[in-house]
Amino acid sequence: MLLWSIFYFFWGEKITVNQGLGYDGVFYGRITQNFDVFIENKSFSSYYVNRILPCGIVYITLKTLGFSLSPPNIIHAFYILNTLSWIVSLVFCHKIMKHYQISGNIQWLMTVLLLINFYVLKFIFYTPVLTDSMAFLVGTLLLWFYTKNNLYAIIPTGLLGGFVYPLFYVYTCILVVLPVNFKFKSEEKHIKNSIDYFITGFLVFLFAVVRMYIAYRIQHTLNIGFHLNTLLYAGTYSYVLYRILPSYAFIKENTKLFFEYFKQKTTLKRILIAVVLLFVSTSVKLYLTQNPVMQNPKSIYLVKSLLGIDFNGALWLAEHFSGFGLIFVFIILFLKKIHGTSIIQSAGFHAIVLIFCVLMLQKELRVLTDIYAFMLLAVALTLQNQNNVFTQRRYLFLFGIINLLLSKFFLSIENSSVFWSTTEKTWIHTNYGLSTYLMNDNQYVVLLIVFLAVTGILYRVLIKKSSGE
């Protein structure tokens, strides 16, 4: 990862928009340049205050080392921060999988699924002035501390993480209230019946109605393509929700267990800690946003994103591959088994996996960076329990190649008239979820060669390590 980062720094493509800061990066660059003024005047916007920690780290580092707060220096500092974030994350991902005694084969596969895709190898270095890499780091640290049941490390991680990604302190509160030693009973004995079908159908119907209503209110074109896309969304949501929602009988059985657990002193203490954490995070953010000088994105944008409005069906499905690569295939193939695996791990872990599965159906997959490690572990644990072709050594290298190919689902678009897309060219370059749209063919070949070398070496090292050599 370090060698690739160095290689890309000197020879990789860089975004040229806004002096190299990029689209969202121009706002983070402005915050970094004026960080002390923003703090003093309490002038962060309620949107960007959720992402100021990386800006603060870059600001303090550049000032301490005597560098000017120029756009090139800010870009380079973010680039280094991204690299360090991913390297440290890799260390803790390995520690987490080692804790759960994940086999060497699956560790290798998970490492490939995590790294060998264009989101990591291209996007975070092409446009580095973003908070995604640090969000993945704090999410991985949160998972590690949760795995070790270290409450007093979870709390500061959650407080700081709330200033990297907006929902991070919410996830932290879930894990504080539902510690790793609180487990649900197994769902295997419960067979879904008519009431479960009804609940799933009602939720999907509600989604479709709200989607069409919002589109009608904002005067979006309600043509046949829009309605076909609604059916596509409804079909996908039906499958995912049916697989991941616990059965009514399971919920009824575990409700009693849930409340019995909450009677314990330690749990009441955890509830109080979660309330204080939410209060402190919210209070600090309200304090820092008293005199905002930057506008927030329009709220309707977030609603449209959640409902998939302005997003065509083929492009929507393709983004799952470009954002997740082969892991998306594993999620879909093993959704029921992943759901079962997460239940028996812990209630908190299961809750985060449920959130991930629902939110992954949004159009911007970057919003899941902070809890991506949870899903990676869920897939690893599921594969660990399966004695099938997916964990056989001779297939793993092939899966890695497929992962890289899937993650480059689009041809280069910027300065090119040749691309595969169902929407306008002018809109595509602002879609942050598409991690591959700017990779030219020459760098694609280079990346394939690097992939073959690095994954081959990594494969041999991990296999030898797991066999005790």
What angle (nearest 5°) sits at the alpha carbon of residue 245, between those of residues 241 and 248? 130
Task: Give the span between the Cα atoms of 154 and 262, in whole angstroms.
Answer: 20
- pLDDT in the model for residue 401: 67
Residue 14 has pLDDT above 70, yes or no: yes
The better pLDDT of the pair 394, 326 is held by 326
Amino acid letter, residue 340: G
User: Mean pLDDT across the stretch 131-144?
Assistant: 95
Ranked by mean pLDDT, the top range of 9-23, 86-100, 335-349 is: 86-100
Residue pointed to by tokens 């296999």: 463
Q: How far is CA 419 from the centre of its chain?
A: 26
3-state secondary structure the chain: CHHHHHHHHHHCCCCCHHHHCCCCHHHHHHHHHCHHHHHHHCCCCCCHHHHCHHHHHHHHHHHHHCCCCCHHHHHHHHHHHHHHHHHHHHHHHHHHHHHCCCCHHHHHHHHHHHHCCHHHHHHHHHCCCCCHHHHHHHHHHHHHHHHCCCHHHHHHHHHHHCCCCCCHHHHHHHHHHCCCCCCCCCCCCCCCCHHHHHHHHHHHHHHHHHHHHHHHHCCCCCCHHHHHHHHHHHHHHHHHHHHHCCCHHHHHHHHHHHHHHHCCHHHHHHHHHHHHHHHHHHHHHHHHCCCCCCCCCCHHHHHHHHHCCCCCHHHHHHHHHHHHCHHHHHHHHCHHHHHHHHHHHCHHHHHHHHHHHHHCCCCCHHHHHHHHHHHHHHHHHHHHCCCCHHHCHHHHHHHHHHHHHHHCCCCCCCCCCCCCCCCCHHHHCCCCCCCCCCCCHHHHHHHHHHHHHHHHHHHHHHHHHHCCC
Task: Give the span between the Cα atoms of 23 and 426, in whole angstroms.
Answer: 13
Over the chain, what is the mean pLDDT? 80
User: Mean pLDDT across the stretch 297-318?
Assistant: 69
The better pLDDT of the pair 93, 448 is held by 93
The answer to which of 28-37, 181-190, 341-350 has the lowest mean pLDDT is 181-190
Task: Give the span between the Cα atoms of 234 and 231, in whole angstroms.
Answer: 5
Say what the alpha-carbon torsion angle 322, 327, 328, 334 is, to the nearest 10 degrees: 170
pTM beyond 0.75, yes or no: yes
User: Mean pLDDT across the stretch 260-275?
Assistant: 81
The better pLDDT of the pair 467, 452 is held by 452
- pLDDT in the model for residue 335: 85
Straight-line distance from the first to the last Cα atom of the chain, in angstroms, rounded to the nearest whole number: 24
The better pLDDT of the pair 155, 429 is held by 155
pLDDT class of 469 with cuts at 50, 70, 90: very low
Residue 322 has pLDDT above 70, yes or no: no
User: C-alpha distances in angstroms, 220 versus 138, 237, 304, 451?
Assistant: 38, 22, 10, 43
Burial (CB count <10 Å: 0-12, 13-18, 19+), residue 253 = middle
Are 47 and 297 a contacting pair, CB within 8 Å? Answer: yes
Task: Give the span between the Cα atoms of 241 and 402, in whole angstroms.
Answer: 27
The better pLDDT of the pair 396, 371 is held by 371
Residue 320 has pLDDT above 80, yes or no: no
- pLDDT in the model for residue 332: 79
The answer to which of 31-40, 80-89, 195-204, 245-254 has the lowest mean pLDDT is 245-254
